[in-house]
Structure 1
Amino acid sequence: MTSGNHQAELASAYLFHLAKERRLSPLTCESYARDIRALLNLAQETPLDRLQIHHVRRFAAQLHGEGFSGRSLARMLSAWRGFYRYLTRDHGYASNPCDGIRAPKSPKTLPHTLSPDEAAKLLEFPASDDLMALRDKAMFELCYSSGLRLGELAGLKPEDLSLDDGTARVIGKGGKTRIVPVGSKAAQALREWMKQRQTLAKPGETGLFMSRYGKNISRRSIDQRLKIQALRQGVSANIHPHVLRHSFASHLLQSSGDLRAVQEMLGHASISTTQVYTHLDFQHLSKIYDATHPRARKKEKS
């Protein structure tokens, strides 16, 4: 067996371990697979057990020179580090050449959010005469109402809804289940959609949201439909479902100030992930301050 074939088999075994033993989502496994393929391409003929820390530093520098951001490199190094931890534990590798290597820092970027007025403008479209519009309204209202990830939205089933209680059961990252609130506008849109869902659903299809062909709707289709709707409503063209999730978190934090509650609703494992929204909230307050405080406003030119 050639070195390249053996290394590819090790990578496949690790990805199987991530999917079946650690039960990571298909999307997360795809990301790991891309990062590990990059490592194998960079290593070329050098066996994985011969790679040293200076090799990995050179790989990171090469990717950085090709335009990879610090954040992308940090994710990639994390994937490589995990791969080598698996190799040392299960395949007798002596050391982890990725330990201690840090990616270059990237400038912090805050997530893009809609203002409350923009969110309302996006979601206020008629849907009574169009089955697809009825479905889209229910999807987008729920995404904004409950701060769902795209995969969570696409994976919902009718039995996950408890509209009388105003809640939904969501399976998030790592297979973790959480209960999220469903607002009144989202609940109303979902009730209207549920009356029509069976007219589309093919036998055996279990998803909450159907494509026009009666199949469970894909993530890609949800993303495309949202972009189309944003253009129709005259909202920014660069809208995707995660913008609705960011907007949910930002608007909730502005109203409540309860970071722990926002963390719980978003399904974040760490509060540090949620804290990015405090920066958005501060930006919001800074704009109000600059516009209204008499000592902050710029003097008009005479």
Structure 2
Amino acid sequence: MDALARFERYMTGERAKSPATRTAYLADARLLLELLGATPLEQASVRDIRACVRQLRQRGHDARSIARRLSAWRAWFKLLVRDAGFSANPVDTVRAPRAEKKLPRPVSVDAAAGFLDNLDANEPLALRDRAMYELAYSSGLRVSELVGANLGDLQPDGTLRVLGKGSKLRVVPVGQAAHAAIANWLPCRTVLLQAGEQALFLNRYGRRMTTRAVQQRIAHWSDQLGLGDKLHPHRLRHACASHFLQGSGDLRATQELLGHASIASTQIYTHLDFERLSAVYDQAHPRAKGK
């Protein structure tokens, strides 16, 4: 049995991969054979695999797609070492290029305040939306954390318990504007509430909001307010982080607020802050620009 057929049978039977995954992995395997050229598969070395990665980069493949192809190649060679007598897996020590972290588009303090202050909170679902987005901006919540919040997570001391990624619990402060918006929403929540529902934010049927619904509602408000630069829930989280860091200068506190496991994830906001600093410097410093 040739190597490709063996790989397909392995993914279909032993691994029970979906048809889409099998198709993608087999395409990756055929691509490797193409990139290796005259080099037989059983003779491929670590140097050969790295040369294949360089070819992918030259063809314009990004770090994510290269990582996926390496994963497929690694699984293929692992099978061939086990079942076809290959001596080693040359992909084991090859890593994909580091993916560039894209900086979030910044949202100014005025833009965030303008959006929140202009939500026309004159009916129950609008009051709910105002409370949701005030809380997202106030406390830097992920959209999953926003819909996962329960009424009982609001604490008497003005904080909120948040269950974040990896089921990690953290406690975040809630600003006065968010507290006021939540207080306005709670009587409407009581009217909509279905028995047994614990969620802080409910849909029109009295059940927990979905992340998709939260995204659709903020898109609705962006259109209603005629925003050229559309908002989405995660941009409110980014805005909270960058504005908090600009005001406090405390990277570690920003990390705690956002619930980042690694401070490296929080450091992207230092770049945003540095961009603001650079712009102010260019305008203000007498030696920033030549006459």
What TM-score bracket applies, with the shorter chain setting the length? 0.7 to 0.9
Map 1:79-228 onto structure 2 (within 5 A).
80=71, 98-104=91-97, 109-162=102-155, 164-228=156-220
Q: Is the 8 A contact 1:77 1:103 kept in 2?
A: no
Aligned residues, how many? 268
Aligned to 1:268: 260
Tell me if 1:286 matches 2:286.
no
Cα separation, partners in 2 of 1:178 and 1:229, compared to 1, 3 Å: same
Q: Is the 8 A contact 1:116 1:251 kept in 2?
A: yes
Cα separation, partners in 2 of 1:249 and 1:55, compared to 1, 3 Å: same
Indicate the structure (1 or 2) with the bigger Cα radius of gyration. 2
Write out per-residue CA displacement over residues 58-99 of structure 1, whole angstroms, 9 at most, x where no aligned residue. Answer: 58966984x6532x2376479x39x96xx89xx999976543
Q: Is the 8 A contact 1:123 1:137 kept in 2?
A: yes
2-structure distance, mates of 1:157, 1:35: 37
Aligned to 2:39: none
Secondary structure of 1:251's partner?
A: helix
Write out per-residue CA displacement over residues 100-150 of structure 1, whole angstroms, 9 at most, x where no aligned residue. Answer: 333345655321120101110111124442111111111111111111111
Q: Is the 8 A contact 1:226 1:241 kept in 2?
A: yes
Aligned to 1:7: 11
% same residue: 41
Secondary structure of 1:223's partner?
A: helix
Cα separation, partners in 2 of 1:169 and 1:8, compared to 1, 3 Å: farther
Cα separation, partners in 2 of 1:61 and 1:255, compared to 1, 3 Å: same
Match of 2:223 among 231, 243, 260: 231
2-structure distance, mates of 1:174, 1:60: 35
Counterpart of 1:116 in structure 2: which amino acid? V
Write out per-residue CA displacement over residues 235-292 of structure 1, whole angstroms, 9 at most, x where no aligned residue. Answer: 3443221111111111111111100010111111111111111111111111111122
Deviates more, 1:132-141 or 1:200-209: 200-209
Aligned to 1:42: 28
Once the two structures are TM-superposed, the CA of residue 205 in structure 1 deviates from its matched residue by 3.3
Once the two structures are TM-superposed, the CA of residue 212 in structure 1 deviates from its matched residue by 2.0
Cα separation, partners in 2 of 1:168 and 1:75, compared to 1, 3 Å: farther
Q: Is the 8 A contact 1:121 1:233 kept in 2?
A: no
Q: Is the 8 A contact 1:42 1:59 kept in 2?
A: no
Cα separation, partners in 2 of 1:207 and 1:282, compared to 1, 3 Å: same
The RMSD of aligned alpha carbons is 3.8
Counterpart of 1:42 in structure 2: which amino acid? D
Secondary structure of 1:268's partner?
A: coil
After TM superposition, the score normalised by the length of structure 2 is: 0.75
Secondary structure of 1:169's partner?
A: strand
Q: Is the 8 A contact 2:11 2:22 kept in 1?
A: no
Write out per-residue CA displacement over residues 187-238 of structure 1, whole angstroms, 9 at most, x where no aligned residue. Answer: 1111211221132233343322122233321111111211222233343443
Cα separation, partners in 2 of 1:270 and 1:105, compared to 1, 3 Å: closer
2-structure distance, mates of 1:166, 1:100: 50
2-structure distance, mates of 1:283, 1:153: 29
2-structure distance, mates of 1:196, 1:109: 39
